[in-house]
Structure 1
Amino acid sequence: MAQHVRRSARGRSGRLSYLDWPGTGVPVLFLHPVNTAAAVWTDVVAALGGPRRALAVDYRAHGRSDPGGPYLPVDYAADAVAVLDAAGVERAHLVCGSIGGAVAVELAAAAPERVASIAAFGAALRVGWAADALDEAEKALRALGVREWFTRHGGEILGPRSRPDAAARLVELASGGRDGDRATDTVVRVLRSTFGDADSRPAAAVVAADPPPARVFVGSHDPTCPPPRARELAAGLNAEVRMLDGIGHLPMLEDPAATAAAVKEFHASAETGNR
């Protein structure tokens, strides 16, 4: 697949940055886990190869996009729609990770005609951290700073079969922003909104009436969106759940080749009507 081009779109909270790989057919829109960025998908896209166009959005306050809020899945879904509009894409396959699953559901509820299918990895409709866990994370973030906090804790969400450099790559994706490292205040607000307040079960109830083709993949060692959360997402999409042995919360970073193979097989089955 050809090298991507970085482009920008105008979103509700400011400028959005996204990656665009040229191609034909129904494109794929990649929706990243919170506290990563569009670039978390680059090795997956490379492994996919083939002629299909691909897009990957940096949500607001992530990657090279502007930092303005708010930071709920419905807001990230608005960012995704803004990128589709800027790219001239009417309909796309959604491939999502972590809270990206909730983003995909919010997008499908608001604009079902734009969603060809949903493939979700380590994803959930909600994370639902308790107030004391959010308070503890905020205290540590403010004491350590963003980069050191992810350096200390990022590896905790990866599985035993993760590639060796995944933790270091996660630190760079989670820490880097448009103008250097992300601001601690912004990361705290993102964390509290996305890990605490976010709940896309109402949107899933809308989508459940006529869901797109979907499949949910979950790592056997995922501590953030474990199998019960995956099954909750799958129930809303009338989808099957497939286990990824030895993988943690970020399959796209831990084993991009296997993630790409799963995407490719799912898209082939979705486009032939064999979900």
Structure 2
Amino acid sequence: MSGSVSHVTASDGTRIWYDVLGEGDPLLLFNGQSLDHEMWDGPHAALAGRHRVVRMDFRGTGGSGAPLDQPYTLDLFVDDALAVLDALGIDRAHVYGFSMGGKVAQRFAVRAPERLGALVLGATAPGGPHEVERPRESTLALRRAGTAAGREMIGPLFYSPGWADAHPDTVARVLPRGPLRAQRLHFGASGGHDGWDALPSIQAPTLVVHGEDDELTPVGNAALLAERIPNARLLVLPGLRHGYLHEDEAKATREVLDFLAGHPLGWSADRSR
């Protein structure tokens, strides 16, 4: 489901794809590693029932350009996101980042706090030596996700087997997109993140959401984020894996919408959270 679609040109000339749907306080969505905006299909429409939802494709994925001559970094992704907000004339927005997108959201919160309303960190981690590492086989699945064998491993990491079998279209949307070299650049950008020292400086109201049985990003990372970010709220969804936002879409989206409703963009820094 798409709304108004457009592109903005980043400072280095890369075209960044975005679309907009709905009305209300702006909500910017950040995709997972090597995924494009279609990963939000389902939750996207429900979120747009209350918000002006902006999806964007990070460089290297979807409708965005894929320069391959320089490393990608989370700061570069933040720059691209700010260019999208500027093109839309949005001064402040809520941000919901999933998986690698949650790491980008952390960087956004540190780099541009004046542009941020509330923050939702889904199935993500602090990075660096403090991050609870995923099992080795899960890392191999990510590295091989562009191959047939890797694709077969991704579905069960995101969803319970029965649910994955019943929803093949959703599984297809969480398979890596874009050139293989761009996928590797995304992997490097995510793996290079260490937000530990900066997390206590995040002042935005924050909700940390995670599936209890997530092996791709172990749930211990959610507790670390919630402890490290001042006054953050932790929501662990029992029995769910990395793709909690799809498998229990109704509950996960309702929790996010209720949280954002408690922090309209007119919130004051001295308001109780």
TM-score range, shorter chain: 0.7 to 0.9
Percent of aligned pairs with the same amino acid: 24
Higher helix content, 1 or 2: 1
Query: CA distance change for structure 1 residues 119 and 166 in 2, over 3 Å: closer, same or farther?
Result: farther
What does residue 196 of structure 2 align with?
201
Q: SS where residue 215 of structure 1 aligns? A: strand
What does residue 18 of structure 2 align with?
18
What does residue 41 of structure 1 align with?
40
What does residue 57 of structure 1 align with?
56
Quote how far apart the aligned CAs of 1:162 are.
4.5
Query: CA distance change for structure 1 residues 188 and 253 in 2, over 3 Å: closer, same or farther?
Result: same
Quote how far apart the aligned CAs of 1:76 are.
1.7
Contact (CA 8 Å) 2:95, 2:116: kept in 1 or not? yes
Partners in 2 of 1:27 and 1:218 — Cα distance? 23
Contact (CA 8 Å) 2:212, 2:239: kept in 1 or not? yes
Query: CA distance change for structure 1 residues 60 and 265 in 2, over 3 Å: closer, same or farther?
Result: same
What does residue 252 of structure 1 align with?
245
Quote how far apart the aligned CAs of 1:167 are.
5.4
Q: SS where residue 202 of structure 1 aligns? A: coil
Residue 232, structure 1, aligned to residue 233, structure 2: no
Quote how far apart the aligned CAs of 1:101 are.
1.8
Partners in 1 of 2:108 and 2:83 — Cα distance? 11
What does residue 152 of structure 1 align with?
152
Quote how far apart the aligned CAs of 1:212 are.
0.6
Which has the higher mean CA deviation after the structures are superposed, 233-242 or 162-171?
162-171
Query: CA distance change for structure 1 residues 258 and 57 in 2, over 3 Å: closer, same or farther?
Result: same
What 5-or-longer segments of structure 1 have no aligned partner? 177-181
Partners in 2 of 1:50 and 1:233 — Cα distance? 28
What is the one-letter code of the residue matched to 1:188? Answer: R
What is the one-letter code of the residue matched to 2:17? Answer: S
Q: SS where residue 201 of structure 1 aligns? A: coil
Quote how far apart the aligned CAs of 1:11 are.
2.0
Contact (CA 8 Å) 2:201, 2:229: kept in 1 or not? no
Q: SS where residue 146 of structure 1 aligns? A: coil
Which has the higher mean CA deviation after the structures are superposed, 66-75 or 121-130?
121-130
Query: CA distance change for structure 1 residues 128 and 232 in 2, over 3 Å: closer, same or farther?
Result: closer
Which has the higher mean CA deviation after the structures are superposed, 159-168 or 242-251?
159-168
What 5-or-longer segments of structure 2 have no aligned partner? none
Query: CA distance change for structure 1 residues 120 and 135 in 2, over 3 Å: closer, same or farther?
Result: closer
Partners in 2 of 1:260 and 1:233 — Cα distance? 20
Which has the higher mean CA deviation after the structures are superposed, 159-168 or 79-88?
159-168
Quote how far apart the aligned CAs of 1:150 are.
4.3
Contact (CA 8 Å) 1:219, 1:247: kept in 2 or not? yes
Q: SS where residue 174 of structure 1 aligns? A: coil
Which has the higher mean CA deviation after the structures are superposed, 69-78 or 244-253?
69-78
Partners in 1 of 2:77 and 2:261 — Cα distance? 27
Quote how far apart the aligned CAs of 1:223 are.
0.8
Per-residue Cα deviation, 1:164-201 (whole angstroms, up to 9, x for no partner): 4555434345344xxxxx2222222322332x322222
Contact (CA 8 Å) 1:6, 1:19: kept in 2 or not? yes
Query: CA distance change for structure 1 residues 128 and 64 in 2, over 3 Å: closer, same or farther?
Result: farther
What does residue 67 of structure 1 align with?
66
Partners in 1 of 2:140 and 2:120 — Cα distance? 32
Partners in 2 of 1:64 and 1:29 — Cα distance? 17
What does residue 7 of structure 2 align with?
8
What does residue 116 of structure 1 align with?
117
Q: SS where residue 65 of structure 1 aligns? A: coil
Per-residue Cα deviation, 1:48-99 (whole angstroms, up to 9, x for no partner): 3534211011111122111125323222222211111111111001111112
Residue 222, structure 1, aligned to residue 222, structure 2: no
Per-residue Cα deviation, 1:83-127 (whole angstroms, up to 9, x for no partner): 111111110011111122221111111110111001121121226
What is the one-letter code of the residue matched to 2:204? Answer: P
Contact (CA 8 Å) 1:220, 1:244: kept in 2 or not? yes
